[in-house]
Amino acid sequence: MARATVPLIVRRLRKFAPRPAFVVTTFALLSLTASIVIFHPLASANRQSVPPPVSRANPRLTQEFQLTGDQLWLDTHITILPGERLLFSASGSLRYPGAPSESSPAGLPRTFKDLLRNLPLSDAGRGALIARIGDPDVASPFLIGSARDLIAPAAGRLSVGINQSADDTAGGAYNLEVTIYPRDPNSTLSLAHLVASIPGVDASLFAKIPRRVADNSGAPGDMINFLILGSPASVEKALKSAGWVQVDADVKDTVMNGVLATISKEAYLTMPMSQLYLFGRPQDYGWAHAEPIQVVASRHHLRLWLAPFTVNGQSLWCGAATHDIGFAHDQRNSGITSITHKIDPDIDLERDYVQKTLFNTGQVAEISYFLPLNPLHSGITATGASFHSSGQVLILKLSISPGVNQSSR
């Protein structure tokens, strides 16, 4: 209700109400008006969405692009540097055959049919304007919409695209302007550094970490191929920022999710993981990551166990990462009735995939590799799958936020 309408309503009510009632009514109306103006959710959201002031520094680059409805990704040939500020502004519309309305750069409202489509960014609507920075194989797409203001967490090539299936075709086009400002010298953004070693990560530490995980019968399984140093909150934040999705270790819905996986990438991505054991207990967390544009039955996944000891006061997470590339018979059951995931035998590729995705979050301080004594070069998992490795273990040290207890759980 606009403020200007209040006096008019009050004057009209005055003719019909005794003075005490009039006072109460007036107070109620003024209170209601104040609550609408001050506490209206939309008004609050609009205030929160206002970007910080643009740097007074001159932009290093401003460029315009046009994306037509038959394009999926467009390489801008612009290399982004860590900490640079990117301003996006878009206009135009797309017309999809059979769609009830035209799509703006914000995308069409999501419907059930979107579960059947293989969209690059599952959280956004069909036709939304999106972008990614870095290697197409690992970079997570993010929404541009009609406007976006962000700080680049890492270096990489900028690509812009339309959130649609590879076989989608729409009429129309989007016009996009990209403005890039240099990194703010006062920025607190953490940039990852490759270091030769990390204090506390040595042979004595690896003497306390089992080389492999096991199933519930004790049969050896996947290799521990990466470690993370950081608090539970920082680990969760980094993984979510990198596009990883948390998956419960609950197999009761596996059959239903397996059926849904034949039509939905999202359903397959969140398909429960089996429980594997380290330090005498199942994984604390399971995470999955979908390939940017890939059919189901192919996902990256990792399991994390919190170690019962710390490294220089920081929580230590032991991880086993593998890449599902299809399905295979479970050799524990003579290969007759049980089906399990088939993994890529080169597990070093998945180890490095984890590094690349987390590097792009801007929340990793240091990256290193460690070769334990008597490194594990090959093995057979409990389900009969073989794997091979250089034996090197990836070490990721996350940035420490002020006031965060890194050893808390």
DSSP string, 273-304: PPP-EETTEE-SEEEEEE-TT--SS-EEEEEE
Taking only the tens of pLDDT, the chain with its 409 residues reads 444 443 443 344 344 344 444 333 433 333 333 333 322 322 333 333 344 444 457 999 999 999 999 999 999 999 998 889 999 999 999 999 989 999 999 999 877 676 667 788 877 899 999 999 988 877 878 999 999 999 887 788 999 999 998 889 999 999 999 999 998 887 766 678 889 999 999 999 999 999 999 999 999 999 999 999 999 999 999 998 887 888 865 555 444 444 444 444 555 556 677 899 999 999 999 998 865 444 445 678 899 999 999 999 999 999 999 987 765 555 555 444 455 557 789 999 999 999 988 886 778 999 999 999 999 999 988 778 899 999 999 999 998 754 445 554 4
pLDDT score for 361 = 77
Euclidean distance between CA atoms 252 and 271, whole angstroms: 10
pLDDT score for 405 = 52
Q: Which helix (DSSP H) or strand (DSSP E) does residue 129 occupy? A: strand 129-133
Phi (first) and psi of residue 321, to 5 degrees:
-120, 135
Q: Count the Cβ atoms, other than its own, within 10 Å of residue 271.
A: 22
Euclidean distance between CA atoms 314 and 23, whole angstroms: 62
Q: At 364, is the secondary structure helix, strand, or coil?
A: strand
User: Terminus-to-terminus CA distance in the chain, angstroms?
Assistant: 48
Contact present, 215 and 276 (Cβ < 8 Å): yes
Q: Considering only CA atoms, which of 29, 383, 19, 2 is closest in space to residue 220?
A: 383
Q: Count the Cβ atoms, other than its own, within 10 Å of residue 409.
A: 9
pLDDT score for 46 = 31
Euclidean distance between CA atoms 342 and 298, whole angstroms: 9
- Three state DSSP letters for 229-260: ECCHHHHHHHHHHCCCEEECCCCCCHHHHHHH
Angle of helix 19-39 relative to helix 5-14, nearest 10 degrees, comes to 160
pLDDT score for 186 = 78
Q: What is the pTM of this model?
A: 0.64
Euclidean distance between CA atoms 293 and 141, whole angstroms: 10
- Kindly tell me the burial class for residue 174, based on how many C-beta atoms sit within 10 Å of its own C-beta (0-12, 13-18, 19 or more): buried
Dihedral (CA of 80, 71, 355, 360) sign: positive
Contact present, 287 and 245 (Cβ < 8 Å): yes
